Structure 1
């Protein structure tokens, strides 16, 4: 750790992905003493609220943005400050493909940007640790040594998959970045909830549910199908598209091909305190990404199962045990229904009603929003 005149020199990482920050913080705690520690900025749902950070003591600035330079309001001011102070500035895409504009705005050689980007795309604490060592040796003239980026699995089973043939099976799919940054407590809570409701649980992590453009297949969904799941809890907010002709567009067909009920599990981006203190509940972004848009995929909307809380390790998704049990219960009941013979199932039709003079006069049920429903039959008195 470099110190001069009482200053501790640090590496700044600002990212729209909290999992990048979690991995960097964990790696920094394990790093060689000559690697500068990391300080982080979470670029959240409302980036305009972020002011230009204090760069005193900062030796390197890395920015990873989902949505390009406009995703973070202070971007240009931070870059200009780095130029004036002689601080290396590295800007990268939040996607798996590089962003030429961000690479061009970086003040280090493009090869350095490319290697930093590769470390972050491949993800995990190990790659984050080597990223810090790479920056130390390449830009700060250190000598700690580093390894090249290593591939981490893009898709896989989290933990052990249950396989009791006497029980229905509920699948869970969540982001790979949470797996690589050890941010999985919210997944564990869903697994516990599924077990409590008497079902097998199979949790799969993946980068994306988008099918491979060449094969048209989704590895994550194929993996879940191989475990013969009866219902699926989706912890991701990727939504389908309505324009199937658009090249490379994601549609809900891959989910439909599973042939099972799909329940949306909501990982709220607000804290539990913020959620409880507002009459609105979920933020506008969460409402859009976890409720409004997934409905176009035909998903059954569940409940918030976790909330984002700030800890010493960074922002993590802390599970809400009661709500996780509730979401798991919705999935478990749908899974169990598939094992009940059709002739033994019961159907309940619920119609909303609006009690006005017209509905009373016509003795109709379900008259809300001008539904055309039958007049209730009443026995006539003699």
Structure 2
């Protein structure tokens, strides 16, 4: 009978027998926790040749024949076996019985300990090592981090007479600061690593289990990217946001070093559906909380997915966190099986950061801090009004929302708050008069003095423009796939019908440091009703020119999309966890985006490729 070589699999895919293909080792560690096995793999070099090590996932040993084969080929030659079993004896009933019989029959040291932080004497009774020794091995694993995992291996080697006893387990706090290559840092250690303490600060909140399993590569990558973006990182690990001691430590750190933005990589929510919302510990600084996803999927699976996130990540990192009012950002790391590790003859699974996604989140965080730090009188904001279908009579439409009145009210509120605005419309009618006397999405709505046809309201007043030269330079910065898609569908930018006299003429009106624009159509010479929601229609050049002017020429600090509903969120790309080739990201970039929406129809405004939660 041919048994296939082992592949990375889930516990629910364990119906097939597999051969792990490992030769015997002095010490063998079996665990269902990928992060723990990866941590042991990183610590293997600390054995310094005094003992050989093999690592295996219990998820790969769910089939009885896999257990028998592994026991015969690998376990039988071991001197010590450590099993970390989550869920008690029943989780791996046949496997445990087989290993216990083998250890007792052949005199192999065996430590069977819980896979969580609750000691189970009945489970440990299956061990052949002394109870105190089994509990010490368990404590090394429970406390975790690189030093404790290395000392666990050294203690195992000590039990089989290979080396001296290592130091006892060093407790890892429920919550605390973390920094690469600094063991148990204090706040002063972090400040010493910052380029400039006066820079804005971004707190990174992540699970303690990543420190326990030495799986902090995504956090380290985010720290580096934030530094390159001009933001100081304040990384804080917690056992859970619901743990009182973790929440107290986090709250104390936020009081001592208030962050300008919070990047949260923990899952689930503190709030309950249907209950009156109460601020959480993450909200205490009064700053935006961005949800960062350490995905449980592989990068390949994410790249091939139109949805972007699997059901589990969707629930844990999108649906539930919205109850706390967190703003979804991006998935910045993925779970990957590494290359074969010759020291452990295993393929440790690790969280692997994706550099361009990490960089995007860092830039988004920087821009939120910039929005919060700049004085109101210096902030520049764009209000973008929907236009569906793309007719002048449908500008600023919104079922259940008086969009023109809302926009005019927002402008008045901004002026009252100290924004430097000029000549703002007094009411919705005045705003619509301004919009209809300038460029709109109707092809041929030429500016006053041009040779183009006039609209029913007469000659059009000039709005803003972006030269073809400036557009070409900005267009060249877009990802290659995006540039190719736009050029293939719409041709050269100078052929765009909204180009006149060497420039794009855009439906944008300036009122000092605020602008009001009419969102461009998805295309031209097409049926707007049929194509408005088309998931494969790439936007034309003038669509990009509109947002390029806002971002790069005018320099907005934030954009507010007003109305039901815009079309940015319907552009080609993933529904969640966007890539750089997704058109909503290519268009909007890392700009803080506010999307007010009528509360009784969230489905119309919640395709979140472009929009954060309302």
Retained in 1: the 8 A contact 2:201–2:234?
yes
Matched residues in 1 for 2:364 and 2:65: separation?
42
Retained in 2: the 8 A contact 1:240–1:252?
no
Equivalent residue number for residue 550 of structure 2: none
**Given the alignment of the two structures, is residue 93 of structure 1 paired with residue 143 of structure 2, yes or no?**
no
**Given the alignment of the two structures, is residue 193 of structure 1 paired with residue 249 of structure 2, yes or no?**
no
Equivalent residue number for residue 256 of structure 2: 226
Retained in 2: the 8 A contact 1:262–1:299?
yes
Judged with a 3 Å threshold, the aligned counterparts in structure 2 of structure 1 residues 83 and 365 are, in CA distance, closer, same or farther, namely same
Equivalent residue number for residue 19 of structure 1: 35
Equivalent residue number for residue 325 of structure 1: 359
Deviations 1:69-116 (A, max 9, x none): 49x96x12211221332363614132x333566546667665444222
1:37 alignment partner, one of 48, 53, 60:
53
The 3-state SS of whatever aligns with 1:173 is strand
Judged with a 3 Å threshold, the aligned counterparts in structure 2 of structure 1 residues 20 and 352 are, in CA distance, closer, same or farther, namely farther
**Given the alignment of the two structures, is residue 150 of structure 1 paired with residue 170 of structure 2, yes or no?**
yes
Retained in 2: the 8 A contact 1:209–1:221?
no
The 3-state SS of whatever aligns with 1:266 is strand
Retained in 2: the 8 A contact 1:351–1:366?
no
TM-score after normalising by structure 1: 0.76
Retained in 1: the 8 A contact 2:81–2:111?
yes
Equivalent residue number for residue 279 of structure 1: 306
Retained in 1: the 8 A contact 2:385–2:395?
no
**Given the alignment of the two structures, is residue 310 of structure 1 paired with residue 329 of structure 2, yes or no?**
no
The 3-state SS of whatever aligns with 1:135 is helix
Deviation at 1:304, TM superposition (A): 0.9
2:203 alignment partner, one of 148, 162, 171:
171
Ranked by relative contact order (alpha carbons within 8 Å, sequence separation 6 or more), the top structure is 1
Equivalent residue number for residue 24 of structure 2: 8
**1:212-361 alignment, distance < 5 Å:** 212=244, 217-237=247-267, 239-242=269-272, 253-312=280-339, 314-342=348-376, 345=379
Give the gaps of 5 or more residues in structure 1. 1-5, 246-250
Deviation at 1:236, TM superposition (A): 2.4
Matched residues in 2 for 1:252 and 1:146: separation?
48
Deviation at 1:233, TM superposition (A): 1.0
Equivalent residue number for residue 116 of structure 1: 137
Matched residues in 1 for 2:128 and 2:82: separation?
11
Deviation at 1:297, TM superposition (A): 1.7
TM-score after normalising by structure 2: 0.50
Deviation at 1:27, TM superposition (A): 2.5
Retained in 2: the 8 A contact 1:10–1:57?
no
The 3-state SS of whatever aligns with 2:314 is helix
Retained in 2: the 8 A contact 1:268–1:304?
yes
Judged with a 3 Å threshold, the aligned counterparts in structure 2 of structure 1 residues 194 and 128 are, in CA distance, closer, same or farther, namely closer
1:81 alignment partner, one of 98, 103, 106:
98
Total equivalences in the alignment: 357
Equivalent residue number for residue 601 of structure 2: none
Equivalent residue number for residue 513 of structure 2: none
Matched residues in 2 for 1:338 and 1:373: separation?
28
The 3-state SS of whatever aligns with 1:8 is coil
Equivalent residue number for residue 64 of structure 1: 84
Judged with a 3 Å threshold, the aligned counterparts in structure 2 of structure 1 residues 69 and 204 are, in CA distance, closer, same or farther, namely same
